[in-house]
Amino acid sequence: MTGNITRRGSHSWRIKYEAGERDPKTGKRQTKFATVRGTKKAAQMELTRLLAAINSGTAVNPTDLTVAEYMQEFLRNNRDLTPKTAERYAQSVTFQIVPHLGSIPLQRLRPAHIEEWHATLMRSRGQRGRPLSTHTIAHAHRVLHRALQRAVKLEFVGRNVASAVSPPKIVAPEIEILSADQMAEFLNRTAGHALHPFIAMALGTGMRRGECCALPWGALDLDAGVVRVESSLEQTKAGLRLKPPKSRYGRRTISLPANVVEIMREYRRKQLELRLALGLGRLSADDYVFPHPEGGPWRPDALSSAFSRLVHALKLPRVRLHALRHSHASALISAGLDVVSVSRRLGHGSANITLGVYGHLFASKDAAAADAIDAAMRGTGPKP
């Protein structure tokens, strides 16, 4: 396979080369052309790269498709994404990828562009004027990487340049955790409020917001003191949808604390009285445990807003709704539960996920472990 270079202008060169495939009619190799702007040396390097790609079988047909055009096509045709994931991907494409890389021809995208893009994002600010988190940047990198992997599969590009550069290391934000006294304060001071049973369930089980919103009465067995988590409510631009757990571990049965059982019994009694007064009949197994005052389930985002307003009104510790789940996990770890038990109760796909979020809490128990083994080795520990 051969090729040559001819000048086209003062700063551009035409590359003529033989492609690897042959014409089905003549049997001759197809002749292709490419234009390179810059020096002759740059054109020679591009010719060398093209011939090497043809020889290795990684050559792709030239295209003028830009990164922006390809990313939009990727979003339109990636049908294996859930609606919520598709929304998050679109946000990354719209706000982090296209503004900085969109004008670059897809086949001209290089690792240096990716590295420069990371640096730009680290210096830039989000929609609310705050610096972008490393989590947001890493997510944008994953979206681009997945899109380019598909481009390789479709032979738009010869390699995934996002694989050559690692995203910035994620700096995990400090998670919000309520102390035991603060958990009791939340329950005591919200008593009588419409959100009190929800807060009790979230603190007592560690269930996710969407799991609580989707919970039907048929999944709650107060006599046995357990709740079955079988689905979650997801909020997207298209509306609400019930979805199954992400993994088999997400579908789980959780034992209820005694005080939560008492709170839920009283809550059920009052809910039933209200339904009968309104002529709605008895509760069915499919009725939501935590319905919105206007009917139907709570929209997860609306529930978070209502919780924030309640916290502000009662001057409670300023935490977000998800802090109830974190606080539940923290209480279990403080009580000495092992990581596998905590992981299963939270519905994590593996214990590694639990350690990734709460590893520092488990680490804090290590000093006590050292003291215990020291006492045993000195013969001063508790006798069996």
Structural domains present in the chain = 3-43 (no CATH), 67-164 (1.10.150.130), 180-363 (1.10.443.10)
Q: What is the pLDDT of residue 245?
A: 84
Stretch 341-361: mean pLDDT: 87
285 has pLDDT over 70: yes
Cβ atoms of 209 and 322 within 8 Å: the answer is yes
Q: What is the pLDDT of residue 1?
A: 58
75 secondary structure, DSSP code = H
Q: Where are the alpha helices (DSSP H) in the chain?
A: 40-56, 67-77, 83-92, 98-101, 111-123, 134-153, 180-189, 196-205, 209-214, 258-277, 300-314, 323-334, 339-346, 351-363, 366-377
> Considering the chain, what percentage of its residues have pLDDT values greater than 70?
88
Instruction: State both tokens at 51.
Output: 């011939």
Highest mean pLDDT of the ranges 125-129, 238-242, 380-384: 238-242
Q: Tell me: the pLDDT tens digits for 4-62?
A: 888 988 888 998 877 656 666 666 767 877 788 889 998 888 888 777 777 665 555 66
Cβ atoms of 105 and 64 within 8 Å: the answer is yes
In our burial notation (b when 16+ CB lie closer than 10 A, e otherwise), range 38-67 reads eeeeebeebbeebbeebeeeebbeeeeebb
Q: What is the pLDDT of residue 156?
A: 86
Distance, in Å, from the CA atom of 293 to the CA atom of 295, rounded to the nearest integer, reads 6
Helix axes 67-77, 134-153, angle to 10 degrees: 80
Cβ atoms of 260 and 232 within 8 Å: the answer is no
Q: Tell me: the pLDDT tens digits for 367-383?
A: 666 776 767 666 665 65
238 has pLDDT over 90: no
Q: Tell me: the pLDDT tens digits for 71-100?
A: 999 999 887 888 888 999 999 999 999 999
Instruction: Name the least confident of 27-36, 37-46, 245-254, 300-309.
Output: 27-36
Residue with tokens 């088999």: 248
In our burial notation (b when 16+ CB lie closer than 10 A, e otherwise), range 302-322 reads ebeebbeebbeeeebeebebe
SS3 call for 74:
helix
Confidence grade of residue 102 (pLDDT, cut at 50, 70, 90): very high
118 has pLDDT over 90: yes
Stretch 275-289: mean pLDDT: 89
Q: What is the pLDDT of residue 58?
A: 59
Distance, in Å, from the CA atom of 102 to the CA atom of 148, rounded to the nearest integer, reads 13
Distance, in Å, from the CA atom of 46 to the CA atom of 52, rounded to the nearest integer, reads 10
> Considering the chain, what percentage of its residues have pLDDT values greater than 90?
54
Q: What is the pLDDT of residue 295?
A: 83
At 31, phi and psi to the nearest 5?
-95, 130
Q: Tell me: the pLDDT tens digits for 160-219?
A: 999 999 998 887 777 889 999 999 999 999 999 999 999 999 999 999 999 999 999 999
Q: What is the pLDDT of residue 384?
A: 56
Across the chain, mean pLDDT equals 87
Cβ atoms of 98 and 68 within 8 Å: the answer is yes
33 secondary structure, DSSP code = E
Distance, in Å, from the CA atom of 34 to the CA atom of 36, rounded to the nearest integer, reads 7
SS3 call for 4:
strand
Residue type, 75: L
For 289-357, the DSSP string reads SSB-TTSSBPPHHHHHHHHHHHHHHHT-----TTHHHHHHHHHHHHTT--HHHHHHHHT-SSHHHHHHH
Stretch 222-230: mean pLDDT: 96
Q: What is the pLDDT of residue 140?
A: 96
Q: What is the pLDDT of residue 71?
A: 96
Q: What is the pLDDT of residue 60?
A: 59
